[in-house]
Amino acid sequence: MTGHLSGDDFLAMFSAAPGLAVALMAPDGTTLYCNETGAKMFGGGTAAEHIGRKLSDLYPREWAEEKTALLRRVAETDERLLIRYIWEGKRIEAQYQRIPDHEAGGPRILVTIREGVTEDRLIPEGFEVVKIDTSNFGPLSVLTPRELEVLALIGQGKSAKEIADTLGCSPRTVERHRDSIGKKLNKNDRVSLALVAQAAGLELRDAHLKQVGPMPRPGAGKPAAPRPASQVEPSPDGVRVKPQG
């Protein structure tokens, strides 16, 4: 059924979903369209400020390069990817899929982003899960790798003894780490710490991810790039690509 949907159909369908960030990207990382939810999630400002900009204009270099490589992969192979990462201390999940459009002059990738993680049994058929190697821990960046490991296990409901057994240390050491985490995050009880860990979807492996800095606001730094030959604009019956020239 989806094979008969146009690019405009896809955008109109997803852009109206509440709380869902939606963007249309070129394989080189240029934003052709994003909704207002997407603009907020991509660093603030208005959607119009993001159109025509590349990921490398808005994000740290390592993060932008990793995402752009995935966009190119989707454009070249027509694979569908479900990408998981941590941004500003929250677990984010993005779907990348190439969409049909015979007027855009090249492949375009529909990107939908939301907070949280889809249960494995609910992942749409045909999507490959990809966990990227860069992250932004936001308020959690004050924690050491060992503290992040302890926090991840707290989020899984582990006791001090269970955490100690997993990490090969004593329960007393775990308690010291937990006290330090609480002071750094201004959280005074185990339940609050568990909620923070669950919001980030922390896993043990995340403690050793490469951390990247915050992104600049869209109005700062590099000037907006000229809009590409095809720009996306809203229309009364959805969103359409408007050829230029």
Q: 174: domain CATH number? A: 1.10.10.10
What confidence score (pLDDT) does residue 49 get? 86
* Average pLDDT of the chain to the nearest whole number: 81
Task: Verify that 194 and 223 share a domain, yes or no.
Answer: no
Task: Verify that 148 and 174 share a domain, yes or no.
Answer: yes
| Residue range 203-211: mean pLDDT, rounded | 90
Instruction: Count up the domains in the chain and report the number.
Output: 2
Task: Verify that 203 and 220 share a domain, yes or no.
Answer: no
Task: Give the domain range for residue 28.
Answer: 2-136+212-243
Has residue 111 got a pLDDT over 60?
yes
Task: Verify that 58 and 149 share a domain, yes or no.
Answer: no
Task: Verify that 77 and 149 share a domain, yes or no.
Answer: no
Supply the pTM of this predicted model. Answer: 0.76
Q: 115: domain CATH number? A: 3.30.450.20
| Residue range 27-51: mean pLDDT, rounded | 86
Has residue 67 got a pLDDT over 80?
yes
Task: Verify that 158 and 108 share a domain, yes or no.
Answer: no
| Residue range 103-111: mean pLDDT, rounded | 82
Task: Verify that 110 and 197 share a domain, yes or no.
Answer: no
Task: Verify that 10 and 103 share a domain, yes or no.
Answer: yes
Task: Verify that 97 and 158 share a domain, yes or no.
Answer: no
**Tokens at residue 188, please?**
């005074």
Q: Ranked by mean pLDDT, which of 42-56, 173-187, 195-209 comes out on top?
A: 173-187
Burial 175-204 (b: 16+ CB within 10 A, else e): eebbebbbeebebeeeeebbebbbbbbbbe
Task: Verify that 180 and 228 share a domain, yes or no.
Answer: no
Task: Verify that 125 and 202 share a domain, yes or no.
Answer: no
Q: Which residue has the higher pLDDT, 4 or 151?
A: 151
Has residue 3 got a pLDDT over 60?
no
Asked if 228 and 2 touch (Cβ cutoff 8 Å), the reply is no
Has residue 225 got a pLDDT over 50?
no
AA letter at 211: Q
What confidence score (pLDDT) does residue 123 get? 87
Rounded CA-CA distance 242/207 in Å is 44
Has residue 192 got a pLDDT over 80?
yes
Task: Verify that 148 and 162 share a domain, yes or no.
Answer: yes
Has residue 96 got a pLDDT over 90?
yes
Residue 222 pLDDT level (bands cut at 50, 70, 90): very low
| Residue range 130-154: mean pLDDT, rounded | 93
